[in-house]
């Protein structure tokens, strides 16, 4: 059966988008379409050019007999800026205000398109690093962790506040909450994380950094190490325990009395931004 070029590139585009960070051999595509590898190479060159131009991602070519291509999700600066600005406006909506100055965020965390964009932005920032797993704390970090995982093609590991019978033997640590200074527990199933893993820590919200620090203590119990720290929202905090992280937005101020929430861009663009695709045109 013969395939036209247009048909091949549609199927290859879908395949690559579904298999990020994974080496795909030219042979796989050549056999899939009964085409010569030279035709597949030409197709891939067109896909790579379009992905980069349209802010979709990039293809890395790995030469040699065991070679192939790897797709990495990337964003361009313009669309990332636009997305973050829109997120700030949404979080500033005074309807989010709850008693005690808390903000209702479940609508954003439950929105599949927003989560996919959050995942793509944060995954882009860690695309060049060796990451074996993404760790988060139940419950609100889970959609963000999975959204990043889908773009980096790594497993998600979920830390809980207490142990469950369905998780088998667990390792537990105590940590001090950064903002309330209370002692809390964190539990991780022993079999969920391999010894020596390099782990990206993810959370929805960071204030004092206590939860992130708790996860770091837990990593030590698995001889695992921190590959990065990514949060959706950071809040102003005088003496944070954590310095090296990436945030998409920053909560500057919540004024309950006047029902005013002030949100600005996080440190996403102030870090090394080599990971962004150049804006086209």
154's tokens: 């790594």
Q: Work out which of 88, 158, 173, 218 binds a copy of itself, going by CB under 8 A.
A: 158
136's tokens: 């988060």
Q: Work out which of 31, 82, 86, 107 binds a copy of itself, going by CB under 8 A.
A: 107
Site for a copy of itself in 8-27 (CB under 8 A): 9-11, 13-14, 17-19
Please, are residues 133 and 197 in contact by the beta-carbon 8 Å criterion? yes
Task: Report if residue 7 touches a copy of itself, rule: CB under 8 A.
Answer: yes
Task: Report if residue 113 touches a copy of itself, rule: CB under 8 A.
Answer: yes
Site for a copy of itself in 216-255 (CB under 8 A): none
Which of 78, 126, 114 is closest to 245 using CA atoms? 126
Residue ranges of the alpha helices (H) in 141-188? 142-152
Using only C-alpha atoms, the chain has a radius of gyration, in whole angstroms, of 21
Minimum CB distance to a copy of itself, residue 270 (Å): 27
Task: Report if residue 196 touches a copy of itself, rule: CB under 8 A.
Answer: no
Minimum CB distance to a copy of itself, residue 79 (Å): 12
Which CB atom, from 164 or from 272, has the smaller least distance to a copy of itself? 164
Please, are residues 82 and 92 in contact by the beta-carbon 8 Å criterion? no
Task: Report if residue 168 touches a copy of itself, rule: CB under 8 A.
Answer: yes
Q: Work out which of 6, 183, 195, 244 binds a copy of itself, going by CB under 8 A.
A: 6
Which CB atom, from 191 or from 252, has the smaller least distance to a copy of itself? 191
* CB-based burial, 160-182: b 16+ in 10 Å, e otherwise: beebeeeeeebbebebebbeeee
19's tokens: 């298999």
Listed ranges 53-61, 83-91, 172-180, 219-227: which one lies at the site for a copy of itself (CB under 8 A): 53-61
Largest CA distance in the chain: 70
Enter the DSSP assignment of 58. Answer: E
Q: Work out which of 106, 185, 264, 273 binds a copy of itself, going by CB under 8 A.
A: 106
Q: Roughly how many angstroms between the first and final C-alpha of the chain, as a whole number?
A: 39
- Supply angle C-alpha 62, 68, 69, rounded to 5: 80
Minimum CB distance to a copy of itself, residue 142 (Å): 5
d(CA 121, CA 113): 12
Point out which residues bind a copy of itself (CB under 8 A).
Answer: 1, 5-7, 9-11, 13-14, 17-19, 46-47, 49-51, 53-54, 56, 98-100, 102-107, 110-113, 115-116, 138-140, 142-143, 146-147, 149-150, 153-158, 160, 165-168, 189, 191-192, 281
């Amino acid at each position: 059966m013969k395939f036209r070029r247009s048909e091949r590139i549609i199927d290859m585009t879908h395949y690559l988008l579904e298999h990020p960070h994974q080496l795909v051999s030219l042979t796989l595509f050549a056999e899939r379409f009964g085409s010569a590898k030279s035709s597949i190479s030409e197709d891939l060159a067109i896909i790579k050019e379009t992905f980069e131009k349209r802010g979709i991602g990039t293809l890395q070519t790995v030469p040699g007999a065991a070679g192939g291509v790897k797709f990495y999700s990337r964003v361009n600066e313009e669309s990332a800026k636009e997305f973050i600005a829109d997120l700030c406006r949404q979080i500033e909506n005074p309807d989010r205000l709850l008693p005690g100055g808390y903000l209702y965020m479940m609508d954003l965390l439950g929105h599949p398109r927003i989560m996919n964009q959050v995942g793509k932005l944060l995954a882009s920032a860690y695309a060049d690093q060796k990451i074996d797993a993404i760790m988060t704390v139940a419950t609100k970090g889970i959609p963000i962790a999975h959204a990043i995982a889908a773009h980096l093609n790594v497993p998600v590991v979920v830390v809980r506040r207490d142990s469950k019978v369905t998780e088998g033997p667990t390792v537990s640590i105590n940590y001090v909450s950064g903002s309330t200074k209370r002692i809390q527990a964190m539990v991780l199933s022993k079999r969920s994380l391999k010894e020596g893993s390099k782990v990206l820590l993810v959370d929805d919200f960071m204030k004092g950094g206590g939860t992130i620090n708790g996860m770091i203590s837990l990593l030590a119990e698995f001889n695992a190490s921190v590959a990065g720290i990514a949060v959706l929202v950071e809040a102003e905090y005088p003496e944070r325990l954590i310095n090296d992280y990436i945030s998409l937005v920053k909560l500057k101020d919540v004024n309950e009395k006047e029902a005013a929430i002030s949100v600005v861009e996080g440190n996403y663009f102030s870090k090394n931004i080599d990971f962004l695709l150049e804006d086209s045109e």
